[in-house]
């Protein structure tokens, strides 16, 4: 039997997963001691059960220790196995040593998680230089794709969409979303000069002025790519774009800036955010089955 244990902030997703899959839903108690250390208690008997900890890792530095404590407690209390459902998987971007002495944090994070869990289920991890999760993780790891969910939302909610990808690397992904949505697509050319400094070039789009541009991306972090692309689109006389992303991180004031340039912003609920409009529970529940 499987029991789902949500880490703080993941209760709604875990409840949906439990309902869709017919699994037990458990509870975890957490608090801070006066010195800042973490207290954690599993409020359900997990002996002999397959435990799935549900934890989006959008804030890994703040949440990681409690997650590991929960996994270790479940195993110590007799769980048959301990898995991790992480709709958003952190520490995937530093996949190479760009400067001498840098930590390749994607490898370090993978080793830490692999040592504590028996399996991993996630959605659209940022696989850039890694061909698949099993090139990084030593436990069984499955990556689901949210492209069909984005495509179905666009097809239902946007009239005459033109899908726009942020860079050449997104071509295959954007093409798949566009094909399912039955819409044309194009991709921009992007050069990144730093975490918050990108340069984008856009072709002449005058032939597409009868369409509604939809900017699609897997992760919105600093938001600079989406913000600049939205401004370039309106500068060519197109309507303010709809922005549809999988993971809505939106650091600092990125969301407010993008709101000023876009007509609407939607995201999957892999990360809790006001823009959430596309639920992923059905995708995860099907994989669990």
Q: Which residue has the tokens 């800042």?
A: 36
248: CB partners within 8 A, 6+ apart: 220, 255, 265, 267, 268, 270, 271, 273, 275, 276
What whole-number distance in Å separates Cα of residue 157 and Cα of residue 97? Answer: 42
What whole-number distance in Å separates Cα of residue 7 and Cα of residue 54? Answer: 6
* Paired residues of 119 in beta bridges: 83
What whole-number distance in Å separates Cα of residue 242 and Cα of residue 60? Answer: 29
Q: Count Cβ atoms below 10 Å from residue 65 Cβ, excluding itself.
A: 12
- Coil, strand or helix: which one is 69? helix
Tell me whether residue 99 is one of the annotated catalytic residues: no
Catalytic residue selected from 23, 190, 211, 224: 190
- Coil, strand or helix: which one is 195? coil
Reading the block at residue 251, the tokens are 């650091």
Give catalytic residues, as residue numbers: 190
């Amino acid at each position: 039997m499987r029991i789902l244990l949500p880490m703080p902030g993941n209760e709604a997703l875990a409840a949906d997963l439990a309902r869709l899959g017919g699994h037990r839903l458990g509870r975890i108690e957490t608090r801070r001691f006066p010195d800042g250390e973490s207290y954690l208690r599993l409020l359900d008997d997990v002996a002999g059960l397959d435990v799935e900890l549900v934890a989006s890792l959008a804030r890994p530095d703040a949440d990681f220790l409690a997650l590991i404590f929960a996994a270790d407690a479940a195993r110590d209390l007799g769980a048959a196995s301990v898995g991790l459902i992480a709709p958003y998987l952190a520490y995937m971007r530093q996949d190479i040593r760009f400067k001498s002495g840098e930590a390749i944090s994607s490898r370090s994070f993978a080793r830490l998680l692999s040592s504590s869990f028996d399996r991993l289920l996630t959605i659209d991890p940022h696989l850039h230089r890694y061909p698949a999760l099993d090139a990084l993780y030593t436990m069984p790891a499955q990556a689901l794709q949210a492209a069909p969910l984005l495509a179905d939302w666009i097809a239902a909610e946007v009239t005459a969409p033109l899908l726009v990808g942020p860079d050449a690397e997104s071509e295959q992904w954007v093409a798949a979303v566009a094909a399912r949505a039955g819409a044309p697509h194009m991709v921009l050319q992007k050069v990144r000069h730093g975490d918050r400094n990108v340069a984008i070039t856009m072709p002449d789009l005058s032939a597409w002025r009868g369409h509604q541009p939809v900017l699609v991306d897997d992760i919105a972090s600093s938001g600079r790519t989406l913000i600049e692309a939205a401004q370039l689109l309106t500068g060519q006389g197109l309507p303010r774009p709809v922005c549809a992303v999988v993971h809505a991180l939106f650091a600092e004031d990125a969301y407010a800036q993008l709101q000023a340039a876009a007509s609407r912003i939607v995201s999957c609920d892999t990360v809790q955010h006001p823009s959430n409009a596309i639920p992923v529970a059905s995708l995860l529940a099907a994989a669990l089955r």
